[in-house]
Amino acid sequence: MSGPSTSAASATPAAPVTPTTPAPPPDRVSVKTWLAVVAMALGTFAMITVEALPVGLMTSISGGLDVSEGAVGLLVTVPGLVAAVTAPVLPVLIGRLDRRLVLLALLTLMVAANALSAAASGFALLLVARFVAGVSIGGFWALAAGIAVRLVPERHIPRATALVFGGATAANVIGVPAATFVGELSDWRVAFLAVAGLGLLVVAGLVFLLPSLPATEPVRLSELPRQFRNRTVRAGVIATGLLVGGHYAAFTFISPILQDTSGVSESLIGPLLLVYGLAGIGGTVLAGVTATRDVRATIIAMSVLLAAVLALFPLVGRSPATGIVLLVLWGLAFGGIPVAVQTWVLKAAPGSTEAATALNTSMFNLAIASGAALGGVVVSAVSLTAVLGFGAALSALTSLAVWRTRKI
């Protein structure tokens, strides 16, 4: 790209290109660009930590603000639902605005929401702060994957996407437990301030690392239903709904499942969830590699593995050893699903990445909320082990939906 053109070279034959100075490969990625991708991954790490933070601090928030733990649960539900609405709407509202500026604004909004959470004098104000956090979470997720795609050449897109989504997996393994630990050592308000501080560091990093990203084409409201009518995009969005919904229906009850089905001691649940999270990171990395070669086969393999693990758990996982093995396989399977499905959606809509990603992000958040709710209904109406079969059935349906769609 930076070398002389063909016509210039023919006009000046005295300056040939020598074998010792080859032109750099066209898909080479600079260190600064990869650092920008890593900074984006830290942004997803911070966002997911923010979204799930009240889960680990439920007791202390309940006592500190004198509200029930059921009410504190709204601090997770509200931002999740707000994010589901924000994800498809924000790309339409921002029009031709530079995506770099929008992303920095969303991260800054997250920092402000956490600062407001830390300063909240009552539960109502804290709920408002969580509503604001939901706006930043949904908007960030709607843009993040599309920005990663624009930073690197096509050959590196699955790897960049895996890094960005790996930040979300790492948040569940490190971010939420670490923030919870900070809250337990001091106060729940300090935990919110700590995540706000991390957000400020991410903003500072992206200011220096992220290039200007003008809108290639503004997203119009009509583009959202048009993308959903795209059979391949629709298959990816449905896959997200089925896999994430099935996973959260069962995983919401992972602690009683491990204790009642596998006989695992309650004291081991925390360490085992850390092991699960590490397996999830491994699944993210693996999917980032295999999706480059065949994203359709990757989604099918991950969904089949997840369905098999959930279906076999009541039959095979009846001892601590087998239960732990199945838990690791569970983490490996689900860890690869977000990056694999997102890669599918990006390939299915190369000219409308923001609209397609927004639909997928909205479905992801809706699936978390609905999956957990449906899982609770199944557990209450049938049994604890029945929810594993329910999750397995949804995962198996995913394989069928993707198999019937053309290869991309």
**Separation between Cα atoms, residue 167 and residue 8, nearest integer Å:** 46
* Dihedrals phi, psi of 236, to nearest 5 degrees: -65, -40
Query: What was the pLDDT predicted at 408?
Result: 62
3-state secondary structure of 231: helix
pLDDT for position 339? 83
- Cα 282 from Cα 169, distance rounded (Å): 10
Pick out the chain residues at pLDDT < 70. Answer: 1-27, 55-56, 69-70, 145, 173, 215-218, 406-408
The pLDDT assigned to 332 comes to: 92
Are the C-beta atoms of residues 94 and 146 closer than 8 Å to each other?
no
Give the C-alpha separation, 109 to 196, whole Å: 10
Q: What percent of the chain has pLDDT over 90?
A: 28
CA dihedral 56, 237, 308, 339 (to 10 degrees): -70
pLDDT value of position 228: 82
| 138 backbone φψ class: left, alpha, beta (φ>0; ψ -120 to 50) | alpha
pLDDT, one tens digit per residue, over 233-265 is 899 999 999 998 899 888 878 888 898 899 988
Contact 133, 79 (CB under 8 A): yes
SS3 of 123, please?
helix
Q: Is 73 exposed, middle or buried (0-12, 13-18, 19+ CB in 10 A)?
A: middle
Predicted confidence at residue 20, as pLDDT, reads: 43
